[in-house]
Amino acid sequence: MTVWIVFALVTLAVAGYVLWPVLVGTRRGQPLPKDATADQMAAQASALSDQDELQRDLNVYRDQLAEINRDIERGVLNAEQADAARIEVQRRILATDQRIQARSQKRTGKKNGTFARPIAIALVLISLIGGLGLYLDLGHPALPDRPIAQRSDEIMAARNARLQNGEREQALRKAVADLSNKLIQNPNNLENWEMLGNSLMALNRPQQAQTAFLEAVKLSNRDGAYLAMYAEAIIRASDGQVTAAARGALEEAAKSGNHNPRIAFYLGLADLQQGQTQAALERWIALANGAPADASWLPMVVRQIEQTATASGIDISGRLKLPSATTPPAIAGNVGPSQEDMKAAAEMTPEERRQMIEGMVGRLASKLEENPQDPDGWARLMRAYVVMGMKDKAQESYQQAQTALEGNKPALAQLAALANQVGLATN
């Protein structure tokens, strides 16, 4: 209750501070208060003096007109002289009268300015009521404070994330420079063109990545996977719109028989953008149903299917034949943590959670020792070490993967692209 009283007093103080000049401001013509300052009294006296002076001038000019008539009767002025004098006096009377009217309009305008009072009061009341409504909807006065000491883990995590992002971007820029130099010396290296395109995409430079992927398309004799990468770069550069050029590349990739998931996904996106929602869903459902259980892109496709079906009112019940887990695979393997594991992890201290993650990473490393022919497993291990800040272990895992997968050029190319993205040396 105390906090509400404090809020109310502060609000009233601010409202009073804003409205006080509007409510008690002195207007010309009104009597001054007894405690008026010398400046206020001088200003009012000056205004009254100016008004009296104009009225006196007007009275003088009228007397002069009467005097001219008397001079004509006495024979002091002839008719021509009297007309000239009368015109001059009348001109002065008109000028003085205009000045009096201008002063009167000015005072009237200030009186009309009193409409600002109810407007100002209404605006302040609207602000107060609106602020109160927002606070009642979003505020939580009973929420306890969280001292910085209790947020040290979150602060450190945020700092580490910013540091890792900076290091990653720096490594990607270095990789782009190195790959560009290599391609100047050997422009026929397909793998380097692919890595350059992936690095540029990771740096959010899709327009430049188009050039790299187009070179890869030419060198690969228009391989479907590279056509899909080229189309994806066009789509990213076009703010997510599947242009005619991108659709042409995707359709050519589909005819090549390549099963790169980008092909079906972006062709479905093109259908959706053209209003063919049912066709888009058919493509995506077929893609999801044929996906490997540990495909990292599968949850994204499932979300896209569900959102599109819900938005368009299309029933897809029973259409998706997915593996039991539709979330990204856990580090320890293809089976994710159970609800009990997640609940237990939420109750752990940061150190206990770190130990649990290290245990999962260790089990994945042991599994790869038994079955080193697992490119996805090596990729997960490399990412896990980078996230944990163990870059040396990530580099060692990449070198082990190169040895284990020697001869598997597509897998090595994908791992090299990942190494570039996370800032590992690829030489």
Residue 212, classed as helix, strand or coil, is: helix
Q: What is the pLDDT of residues 70-104, one digit of tens each?
A: 877 777 777 787 788 778 877 887 887 777 777 66
- By CB atoms closer than 10 A (0-12, 13-18, 19+), residue 166 is exposed
Calculated CA dihedral for residues 101, 102, 103, 106, nearest 10 degrees: 120
pLDDT of residue 64: 80
What's the half-sphere exposure (Cβ side, CA atoms, 13 Å) at 119?
5
- Both tokens assigned to 249: 């590349």
- Residues 66 and 64: their CA atoms lie apart, in Å, by 5
Query: In this structure, how many other beta carbons lie within 10 angstroms of the beta carbon of residue 82?
Result: 15
- Residues 386 and 164: their CA atoms lie apart, in Å, by 9
Q: What is the pLDDT of residues 345-376, one digit of tens each?
A: 455 555 665 666 777 788 888 888 888 888 88
Residue 339: pLDDT over 50? no
Backbone angles phi, psi at 186, to 5 degrees: -140, 85
284 touches 278 (CB < 8 A): no
User: Mean of the pLDDT values across residues 30-47?
Assistant: 54
Q: What is the pLDDT of residues 229-284, one digit of tens each?
A: 999 999 999 988 999 999 999 999 999 888 889 999 999 999 999 999 999 999 99
Residues 6+ apart with CB under 8 A from 3: 141
Q: What is the pLDDT of residues 196-234, one digit of tens each?
A: 998 898 888 999 999 999 999 999 999 999 999 999 999
- Both tokens assigned to 184: 């100047």
Q: What is the pLDDT of residues 49-70, one digit of tens each?
A: 555 666 777 777 778 878 887 8
